[in-house]
Amino acid sequence: MDAAMSKSGRRLLRGLFGLVVVFLYAPIAILLVFSFNNSELPSFPLSGFTLTWYRQFVHDPELIGSLETSAIVAALSSVGAVVLGTLASIPLARRRFTGKAAASALLLSPLVVPYVVLGISLLLLFHAVGVPRTIMTVVIGHIVISLPYTLLVLIPRLEQIDVALEEAAYDLGANRVQTFRLIILPLILPAVVSAFLISFTTSFDEYAIASFVAGTRATFPLYLYGALRFPNRLPEVIAVAVVVMTVSLIVVVGAELGRRVAERRLEALAS
């Protein structure tokens, strides 16, 4: 008899799972509590309840500017990663060509290369070709690290689509662009949305590469790490971190629910 299937085994697995969940999310819960603490020092016992830190960061132009910069970088890099990922995933999923394994390994290599190494490499590259460090250099760096995630989302979805649908479109007179726009894109749209959101969150939270290639405009992670040097700004940093995590959670949950609904509709139409 499998120990994991016994009653005591199931209880043990549930207990271990509960401990893992507590270990992962207890710091976030503590962060949420301290964001309402009426003290500049995040320590117990709490001094009281306040919303001062939330009102304070809303009126901080430097912080708001870093959020806007991160949002712009994340949006541009996500669009670039999704477009390039879609163009690369179609031949990787549909074609057989020499060097396919090497091309796939090259595109997925940022997953195993440390971000610090990538950041230094991009900094040296931009310096060698004479490209000044601006918001666009950060966008390029984030496209590099987001592209593998888009491929890992899009390729499995493309492999699930029957090739006969494309062949039928060709037989009816559609060219490749029309086939992609009218047949392939609607079927992979949920995966495209998921890839975009993954790329967006990856870019928005990224620090290592941005620290090397950022220009005069600091992204939100760079601002946070800089603000941690000043203890009196720590409550404001905690408050904005809670807001960002809450918004990210809402977006991720909403996107997942939307993806499931869209896939069910597409499966119903296909059947």
Structural domains in the chain, CATH included, are: 60-270 (1.10.3720.10)
- Residue 186: what pLDDT? 82
- Residue 10: what pLDDT? 78
- Residue 84: what pLDDT? 92
Mean pLDDT of 109-129: 89
The pTM of this model reads 0.78
Least confident span in 46-60, 61-75, 82-96, 255-269: 255-269
Amino acid at 231: P
**Any idea how long the chain is?**
271
Mean pLDDT of 10-14: 82
- Residue 50: what pLDDT? 76
Q: Is the pLDDT of residue 56 over 50?
A: yes
Dist CA 190 CA 266 (whole Å)? 10
Q: Is the pLDDT of residue 261 over 80?
A: no
**Residue 107 · residue 148 · CB < 8 Å:** yes
Q: What are phi and psi of 37, to 5 degrees?
A: -80, 130
Q: Peptide bond before 45: cis, by omega within 30 degrees of 0?
A: yes
Helices then strands, each counted (H, E), the chain: 12, 0
Per-chain mean pLDDT for the chain: 81
Q: Is the pLDDT of residue 86 over 80?
A: yes
List pLDDT tens digits, range 237-255.
788 878 878 877 777 777 7
Dist CA 197 CA 263 (whole Å)? 17
- Residue 1: what pLDDT? 47
List pLDDT tens digits, range 139-196.
999 999 999 999 988 888 888 877 777 778 777 777 778 888 888 888 888 888 888 8
- Residue 76: what pLDDT? 93
Residue (of 73, 9, 47) closest to 219 by Cα position: 73
Q: Is the pLDDT of residue 68 over 80?
A: yes
